[in-house]
Amino acid sequence: MMDSKSERSVSYMPKWLVVATTLFVVMRIGDVFVSRMLPNAVTIKPVNGIAWTQIPSREQLVAEAKRLAAAPAKPVQELSPQSQEQLQKLLADAKANNKLLLLEFYADWSDPCKKMEATSMSNSQVSQLVDDRFMPVRINDTQKQFGVNARFVADLQKRYRVFAFPTLIIVGEDESPVASLIGNCSSLTTYRFLSRALATVTAVRNGFSPTLTSQSFTNTSQL
């Protein structure tokens, strides 16, 4: 008598294989559908984890970067005539002394401002570098205390998009920000921020002395 198993057709396919094949076909159809609906998307397939569909794709990001690079620069936030005149005077004074204009956006009610003043700004090497190469100007916010800021303060906060205290901004001769530092930072971070800004200006400004300070920082333990 013939075994029942031997009576099966040679084309017999196990149920699990049928199910697996069906799932594979469905997934392939889904991939084609997504690629057609989202031409700028790219599917990330990690070894383990979720296969995210990323929008935009790398190609789209590169194209957008090129577009922005070719676009004209956005106009700088306008100042009131009085604020413009005051800023120009500060820049002229800084240039006359061969220094950079350093604006500190400060608030008396801000604990981070007080802490940075007592630590980083009181560090001997940071303060010496500021004295030697910068003209420091504190822009004091009084909105929280008195419900209003002086016009010059309000204008500069809009111009340089200041949203936190303290914020340090080094201003170039064309009134654009050369560099900015936000928040209460360590002495070492503050010193490096100031030094790098000086190096940047030195590279583009003719006649600006390349010597950062007579007491260049050498011992990080002092910061």
pLDDT at 152 over 80: yes
Domain with 190, as residue range(s), is 81-209
Q: Give the per-residue SS3 of the chain.
A: CCCHHHHCCCCCCCHHHHHHHHHHHHHHHHHHHHHHHCCCCEECCCCCCCCCEECCCHHHHHHHHHHHHHCCCCCCCCCCHHHHHHHHHHHHHHHHCCCEEEEEEEECCCHHHHHHHHCHHHCHHHHHHHHHHEEEEEEEECHHHHCCCCHHHHHHHHHCCCCCCCEEEEECCCCCEEEEEECCCCHHHHHHHHHHHHHHHHHHCCCCCCCCCCCCCCCHHHC
Instruction: Look at residue 38 and tell me if it is in a domain.
Output: yes
In this structure, the answer to whether residues 181 and 204 fall within a common structural domain is yes
Whether 192 maps to a domain, the answer reads yes
Residues 26 and 122 occupy one common structural domain: no
For 175-217, the pLDDT digits (tens) are: 999 999 999 999 999 999 999 999 988 887 655 544 444 344 4
Q: Would you say residue 46 lies in a domain?
A: yes
Query: Which of residues 67 and 219 earns the better pLDDT score?
Result: 67
| In a domain? residue 175 | yes
* pLDDT digit string, tens, across residues 78-131: 899 999 999 999 999 999 999 999 999 999 999 999 999 999 999 999 999 999
Same structural domain, 23 and 88: no
What pTM, to 2 d.p., does this model score?
0.62
Q: Tell me which of 49-58, 96-105, 149-158 is least confident.
A: 49-58
Question: Is residue 105 domain-shared with residue 152, that is, in the same domain?
Answer: yes
In a domain, 8, yes or no: no
Whether 195 is in a domain gets the answer yes
Band (161; pLDDT cuts 50, 70, 90): very high
25-44 pLDDT, tens digit per residue, is 666 665 555 455 545 555 55
- 116 in the same domain as 189: yes
Residues 38 and 91 in one domain: no
Same domain, 18 and 62: yes
How many domains does the chain contain in total?
2
Same domain assignment for residues 56 and 107 = no
* Residues 52 and 99 occupy one common structural domain: no
Say whether pLDDT at 73 is over 80: no
User: Domain holding 166: CATH number?
Assistant: 3.40.30.10
Q: Are residues 85 and 187 in the same domain?
A: yes
Residue 5 lies in a domain: no
Does residue 39 share a domain with residue 114? no
User: Do 101 and 26 share a domain, yes or no?
Assistant: no
Average pLDDT over residues 54-59: 67
pLDDT at 218 over 60: no
